[in-house]
Structure 1
Amino acid sequence: MVSKTRKKAPTKSVKDLNKRRWRRKSPIKNVVAASSAVISSIHRRISKLLSKLGLTRLSSNRKRNSYKILKKTNHFHFPHESSLDTVCKTLRFDDNEPSLLPPTLSNRKTVFLDLDETLVHSTTTLPPGSFDFIIRPTIDGEPMDFYVSKRPGVDELLESLATKYEIVIFTAALEEYASLVLDRLDRHRFISHRLYRDSCRNIDGKLVKDLSVVGRDLKRVVIVDDNPVSFSNQPENAILIRPFVDDVSDRELWKLRGFLNGSDCFDDMREAIKHFVAERDRR
């Protein structure tokens, strides 16, 4: 009598079992699994890129998207001298600190304009010549009179720039004073935002207007100020303008308007500023 032997089924490999599990999943689960795999791959690539750029994640008890700057080393060679500096200035590393400005959906570049001695000149004593208007803010509980003179060309500058740029006033003056000046200066609401003294950084006792916290791409930003200390953190984004007091023949704002209206061909406004400053210095 022939004994019957049961044939032993061939052992399935892990790969075959995974394939069978994949086939048993519903189409939706397949899509979810594939998406997860893609996201994991992207995450690994981003981590490698950040590592090469000298960035690493902070500890897990901080926000997920927060990063810190590692100490610069000579292990990596960047094709451009300022590549790492550009990345560090563009990325926000402290998500706990909100941007000074709300996000913008506009594709316009941003011009930050100083107020005193750039657009106007104010004095608490009656000037010997003419002035444009008087404001009376209350500062530290005391009402004060300010006699304000507009710089020649300021009205034309604001109207012209508003068609192409987002205009932001960034002043180191107190809001109680500056807001009243701007209410009179900007009757047609060409100015998009206003930043006052409380938006400046106090660095070694000096007020600095730090553009790294305004929430705008530094390639698309220009700041105009008569005080170089104000833009000391980002001098490459700045145009230093001659202070205005009472010169009725002053033409600085016409020069500024001509530059800004003619800089559309530059993707990076810092390059445009280099050309403007070089041309101005040659004259």
Structure 2
Amino acid sequence: MAASRSMCLIRNVQKLSMLHISQPHQNGRLFHISTNNSIRWRLSCEFCRRNRDMRFYSNGPKEPDGQGLKLSGQLTGDLLKTKVDIDNNEDKQDFKGQENSEHKEKKDEKKKNMFIALNLVFICGFGVVGVWWLGQPGKDQDGQPIEDEFSHLPKFEATLKRAWRNINLTKEAIAEPSDRKLLPDPLPEPYYQPPYTLVLEIKDVLVHPEWGFVTGWRYQKRPGVDYFLQQCGPPLFEVVVYTSMPAYTAFPIINSLDPNGYIMYRLFRDATEYKAEGRMGGIHVKDLSCLNRDLNKVIFVDFDSKAFQKHPRNSLGLKQWTGDRDDRTLVDLATFLRAIAVSGVDDVRKVLDYYKQYDDPLEAFKEKKRELAAEFEKPPEQPKISTKWSPGFFGRR
């Protein structure tokens, strides 16, 4: 800042000296300024330091007299004094600025520590109140405490143990399915009960979620959904939606997908088993043993292998659909499932095990279908007596 205001001391001396030499002369002359003052050179610019003899032109007729040199010396002294005063003021300002900065840092650190302390006090207080509230015994209709296994213990100990029990019960309620019997019993005669149960995930199987800044969440319908539900609905399959989505999100989607009512039952996130995975988040596992159905006749279609880890033999894993409008997977899947139902397979798990040895089970089924169609088109041959099984849709028979 000082350098920008006073510039170079030697140049200021040159400028002020030229103002006091005012006698006109046609030819300019060079005059010499002594440069023995070491302080002056420390306060001068780099250009003046390299040029130890400072010269300037004057419009006067002759060299400046003693009075001019004396005036120049006085000006130099005044400039040096001004420079020293400016430097002292700037040093004081820098010191005050440094003190203010340190004071501000200490003040900010104090505020931060106070904020942390208040948060700790709030958390501890909230925890104490929560433990006390969870540790209270239940009450009957008259408002009297109900005796339990902790009633005979000291009040403090009983409160802690009762709170711990209630916390574990809440955790189990979140992690475990809402009921161990998710579907009602099969319909008795004379009502018709479809022989097979088809369990479907809707997210990335029947619909794909998309999010936009303007529209928010939207769900794209997979090509062939209407045909699939029509072909795989009753009377061949009892269609059940079993999704990890919450009910308030999935319910309107199902209503839009199935206006004809092919889907008979709907199970949502609360019917899944939650398992923590890593520090953040977890997975929702679908337990088919809670469906109250014969697992020999249950087929579960999903894209997430973790969701059906408890019953991998009943599952048919598809590739996750991400919005491809030329996709024909549901059409091929409907043909495959109808072939199983029409064939009257006793245990669908054997059929699924056979096709899971291929990378793409549906493509393998289509290839088998083409091979059998080609065999039927051949001219009939003499029947041969054979005790071996012949290849069919579902392996060897």
TM range (shorter): 0.5 to 0.7
Does 2:300 correspond to 1:223? yes
Does 2:253 correspond to 1:176? no
Structure 2 counterpart of 1:123: 210
Question: Aligned partners of 1:225 and 1:100: how far apart in 2?
Answer: 19
Deviations 1:219-241 (A, max 9, x none): 01000001001100000000001
Q: Structure 1 residue 148: deviation in Å?
A: 1.4
Question: Aligned partners of 1:154 and 1:275: how far apart in 2?
Answer: 26
- For residue 354 of structure 2, give the secondary structure of its aligned residue in structure 1: helix
Higher relative contact order (CA 8 A, sep 6+): 1
Structure 1 counterpart of 2:230: 159
Structure 2 counterpart of 1:103: 185
Letter in 1 for 2:349: R
Q: Structure 1 residue 150: deviation in Å?
A: 0.8
Whether the aligned pair in 1 keeps the contact of 2:223 and 2:325 (CA below 8 Å) is yes
Question: Aligned partners of 2:237 and 2:335: how far apart in 1?
Answer: 13
- For residue 334 of structure 2, give the secondary structure of its aligned residue in structure 1: helix
Structure with bigger gyration radius: 2
Does 2:333 correspond to 1:262? no
Whether the aligned pair in 2 keeps the contact of 1:126 and 1:147 (CA below 8 Å) is no
Question: Aligned partners of 1:172 and 1:272: how far apart in 2?
Answer: 26
Deviations 1:122-168 (A, max 9, x none): 123169xxxxxx8xxxxxxxxxx421111111110001111310000
1:47-58 map, 5 Å: none
Letter in 1 for 2:290: V
Moved more, 272-281 or 171-180: 272-281
Letter in 1 for 2:211: T
Q: Structure 1 residue 107: deviation in Å?
A: 4.2
Q: Structure 1 residue 201: deviation in Å?
A: 0.1
Tell me, which stretches of 5 or more residues in structure 2 are unaligned?
A: 1-178, 188-192, 277-281, 365-397
Question: Aligned partners of 2:296 and 2:205: how far apart in 1?
Answer: 23
Q: Which runs of 4+ in 1 moved over 2 A?
A: 275-283
Letter in 1 for 2:204: E
Letter in 2 for 1:263: I
Does 2:199 correspond to 1:112? yes
Whether the aligned pair in 1 keeps the contact of 2:232 and 2:334 (CA below 8 Å) is yes
- For residue 205 of structure 2, give the secondary structure of its aligned residue in structure 1: coil
Structure 2 counterpart of 1:188: 260
Question: Aligned partners of 1:102 and 1:149: how far apart in 2?
Answer: 31
Structure 2 counterpart of 1:250: 327
Letter in 2 for 1:275: Y
- For residue 246 of structure 1, give the secondary structure of its aligned residue in structure 2: coil
Using structure 1 for the length normalisation, give the TM-score.
0.57
Question: Aligned partners of 2:313 and 2:213: how far apart in 1?
Answer: 38
Using structure 2 for the length normalisation, give the TM-score.
0.41
Q: Structure 1 residue 245: deviation in Å?
A: 1.4
Say what the alpha-carbon RMSD is for the aligned residues: 2.1
Structure 1 counterpart of 2:317: 240
1:62-73 map, 5 Å: none
Structure 1 pair 217–116 and aligned structure 2 pair: CA distance change class (3 A): same
Question: Aligned partners of 1:123 and 1:103: how far apart in 2?
Answer: 37
Whether the aligned pair in 1 keeps the contact of 2:194 and 2:238 (CA below 8 Å) is no
Deviations 1:177-208 (A, max 9, x none): 10010111111111000000000001233210
Whether the aligned pair in 1 keeps the contact of 2:301 and 2:318 (CA below 8 Å) is yes
Q: Identity of counterpart residues, as a percentage?
A: 30
Deviations 1:56-103 (A, max 9, x none): xxxxxxxxxxxxxxxxxxxxxxxxxxxxxxxxxxxxxxxxx5410111
Question: Aligned partners of 2:212 and 2:307: how far apart in 1?
Answer: 26
Letter in 1 for 2:318: I
Whose helix fraction is larger, Structure 1's or Structure 2's? Answer: 2
- For residue 187 of structure 1, give the secondary structure of its aligned residue in structure 2: coil
